[in-house]
Amino acid sequence: MIKRITSKTYSEERALYNLKNARLLLCKFMGENDGESPLKEASNISVNSCKFYLRYPLWHVNDAQIRATLFAEPSRAPMWYSKNLVFRNSTIESVKAFRECENITLDNLVMKSAEAIWRCNKVNIVNSDLDSTYLCFESKDINMSKTNFKGKYSFQYVENAIIEDCTLDTKDFLWHANNVTIKNCTIKGEYLGWYSDNLTFINCKIIGTQPLCYCKHLKLIDCEMENCDLSFEFSFVEATINSSIDSIKNPIGGKIVCKSVGEKIRKQRKYVGHCEIIETDKIKENKKAK
């Protein structure tokens, strides 16, 4: 039997602790008692058009559907240690959203949350607008598409991710990442992808200084690079770039095909190796000259 709770306000500590098989509509979690963890240990619940202002609302929760709901700034650390969560058409303003959660879907979500989605597994993000200082730290099995993201230090130490059709304005993106594919994205920021292994960029636009250094098994397919100086330092790379590159510094191995390179810096080689650099504009000029 499904319990229905409509238009109620709760402010007590653990007000609906261990709630099961319930549907909440137009409820508010706020008030003078300022109680924490209102829905801790809940399972099989839906939350529709509700507002949360209390701390730690959804800890150790299993099987929850959240729609058209606000997690306001006071509801800090709202979702921790939970499984099988679906958020649709909702807003999160609280810090430290999603910590050590598994199987979460974020669809048409607006989120501004520092340190969001940490050490989570099986994360699906679509049609969302995200702002976070540290996003997806040490998370695994991520799919993100049609999403705008802004914030520093994102996707560090992630494993197994696919990012498609996104706009990313971020610094130190994908540091120490492993097995990540990025398709049809615009990535603007500094120091992209350092110390990573098995990154693949397909039809992406990369903007910013010193991208993709100290990388292993790096691939770029039909990408563009803008304002990218000191690129690929100490990296093993296979790249086809449909633009010029401001400068390339000390790549270790592989092949880079691009229109032209403003400066090739080959000095202070840390490792022994050779990377072939082919400038297609020069090849065309030579053919014309002949």
Residue 288 has pLDDT above 80, yes or no: no
* Residue 171 confidence (pLDDT): 94
d(CA 78, CA 94): 7
- Average pLDDT rounded to a whole number, residues 67-73: 98
Out of 78-87, 95-104, 274-283, which region has the weakest mean confidence (pLDDT)? 274-283
Tens of pLDDT along 22-43? 999 999 999 999 999 999 999 9
d(CA 218, CA 159): 15
Amino acid at 125: I
Q: How are beta strands 62-67 and 83-88 bridged, if at all?
A: parallel
Residue 281 has pLDDT above 70, yes or no: yes
Could you say which DSSP state residue 241 is in? E
* Residue 103 confidence (pLDDT): 98
The number of beta carbons lying within 10 Å of the beta carbon of residue 194 is: 21
- Average pLDDT rounded to a whole number, residues 198-222: 98
Q: With contact defined as beta carbons under 8 Å apart, do 152 and 175 qualify?
A: no
Residue 83 has pLDDT above 90, yes or no: yes
The whole-chain average pLDDT of the chain stands at 95
Confidence of residue 181 (pLDDT cuts 50, 70, 90): very high
Which two three-digit tokens encode residue 21?
Answer: 């098989």
Tens of pLDDT along 107-144? 999 999 999 999 999 999 999 999 999 999 999 999 99
Residue 267 has pLDDT above 90, yes or no: no
Show me where the domains of the chain are located: 1-132, 136-290
Residue 11 has pLDDT above 80, yes or no: yes
- Dihedral through CA 219, CA 223, CA 225, CA 229, nearest 10? 10
* SS3 label, residue 287: helix
* Residue 142 confidence (pLDDT): 98
Tens of pLDDT along 50-69? 999 999 999 999 999 999 99
